[in-house]
Structure 1
Amino acid sequence: MTKAAVMGSGSWGTAYAKVLADAGTDVMMWARRAELAQCIEERNENRDYLRGIILPERLHATADPAAALEDADIVVLAVPSQTLRTNLGAWKEMLPPDATLMSLAKGIEMDTLLRMSQVITQVTKADQSRVAVLSGPNLAREIAESQPAATVIACPDSSRAISLQKACHTMYFRPYTNADVIGCEIGGACKNVIALACGMAAGVGLGVNTIASIITRGLAEITRLGVALGANPATLAGLAGVGDLVATCTSSLSRNRSFGEALGRGGSMAEAQAATHGQVAEGVKSCTSVQALANSYGVEMPLTNAVHQVCHEEQAVLDAVQQLLGRRMKPE
Structure 2
Amino acid sequence: MTQRRDFLKTALATTGATLAGVSAVQAANPASAAPVTVGKNKFKLDYAPHIGMFENSAGKDPIDQLKFMADQGFTAFEDNGMMGRDPALQEKMGAEMARLGIKMGVFVVDKGGNGQNTLAAGKKDYIDIFLNGCKRAVDTAKRCNAKFMTVVPGDFERNLPIGIQTGNVIDALRRGADILAPAGLVMVLEALSDTPNLFLRTSDQTYEICRAVNSPACKSLFDIYHMQKNEGHIIPHIDWAWDEIGYFQIGDNPGRNEPTTGEINYKNIFKHVYDKAKATNRSFIFGMEHGKSQTGTAGEMALIKAYLDSDSFAV
TM-score past 0.5 threshold: no
Which structure: greater helix fraction? 1
Normalised by the length of structure 1, the TM-score is 0.29
Structure possessing the higher radius of gyration over alpha carbons: 2
